[in-house]
Amino acid sequence: MSCLFQSITIDGVEVRNRFLRSATWDRTGTDDGAVTDASMGIIEDLARGGVGLIVTGYAFVSEQGKAAVRQLGISHDRHVKGLSRLARAAHDHGARIAVQIAHGGVNLGLLGRAGRVALAPSRIEGHPQSHREATSDEIRRTVRDFAAAAARGREAGFDAIQLHGAHGYLLSQFLSPRTNYRTDEWGGSPERRRRFLVEVVRAVRRAVGEGYPVWMKMGLRDYSDEGLELDEGLEALKALIAEGLSAVEVSSGFGARSARTARPGDEEDPYFRAESAAAKGAVDVPVMLVGGIRSLGMAEDILNSGHADMISMCRPLIREPDLIARWQGGDTAPSKCISCNKCLAAGVKGEPLRCEEERLLREEAAAR
């Protein structure tokens, strides 16, 4: 049996295989962030389709931190009942599920609502989104928001909490010298720039207790001038593990889109494999790798090379929610996903999550 279909136990949570559905904004929440039947359908399809571990799309920890239309919420006790439906849906079909919790910070230029003033570590000249530097009291309140959200996630029955520390959201913004120019206790040195992340992990760990899984999707480096370097990202990761972080999904911070487009004939290129390998060499917690993985052979090579413990995917599972079951059943052809990004482009308009390429093919077939 392929190593990919062997179970793995993380923090006492047994996952049936090595495949993870990376957190994906699915545009199915209500305006208030409540779970809908469409939200349920996505989780059920993925669980039935063989995914071992599902991470929900990012859920906002506060109204101030809401980044998108139809984003799931975990900012209030009223969200718990609906979120518990998602947890049960995954469990009913043999999958494990984590809830990703996030604060958008200033990363609202594309998705934010008109008239909002975002909170940011620092004032960023020329940034298109209206924003201001957060006060120390506001930062501490946001730490409490993360902790309260994590407690709700555990109450709802999720197997783990995943903090969103990638893709330029608030945790990334504090960590990166590209966006954190502060000279107080929250910035000015690598240690102080990572303090917000440390305080969040510490507070979340207190809120959910020892032994409950607390993970992070983390940008270990930026792909931009004056951004976070890998060495510093790894040091930050070590500091977070010391506070109770128990697994990491490796992605990017600023400067590189986590969902690159591909052209016909492009070679399969896992975007963050080098960073994941570096993390595996630096820390002892499970490491998950996302980005650009499209074939069973590549996924096996990554695990056999010791560059990750789990394989994380997003767009291939939008195109084929049953991809993992297909592979396990013997049809090992690569994912049908062509990385055109039409599924994500539709999200800018607030349209439901779907593979536009698959929809067009079906429409063409029906017309013939």
Instruction: Show which residues are catalytic.
Output: 169
Give SS3 for 18: coil
Tokens of 69: 């239309």
- Integer CA distances (angstroms), 195 to 187, 189, 200, 268, 280, in order: 8, 10, 9, 37, 23
Tokens of 338: 């062509």
What count of Cα atoms within 13 Å lies in the side-chain half-sphere of residue 294? 18
Other Cβ atoms closer than 10 A to 3:
12
**9 exposure class (CB count in 10 Å sphere: 0-12, 13-18, 19+):** exposed
Contact criterion met (CB below 8 Å) for 8 and 309 = yes
Give SS3 for 109: coil
The CA-to-CA distance between both ends of the chain, in Å, stands at 41
Pairing mode, if any, of strands 214-219 and 310-313?
A: unpaired
**46 exposure class (CB count in 10 Å sphere: 0-12, 13-18, 19+):** buried
**176 exposure class (CB count in 10 Å sphere: 0-12, 13-18, 19+):** buried
Tokens of 295: 């074939």
Residue that is written with structure tokens 């494999």 in the block: 273
d(CA 208, CA 113): 32
d(CA 38, CA 29): 8
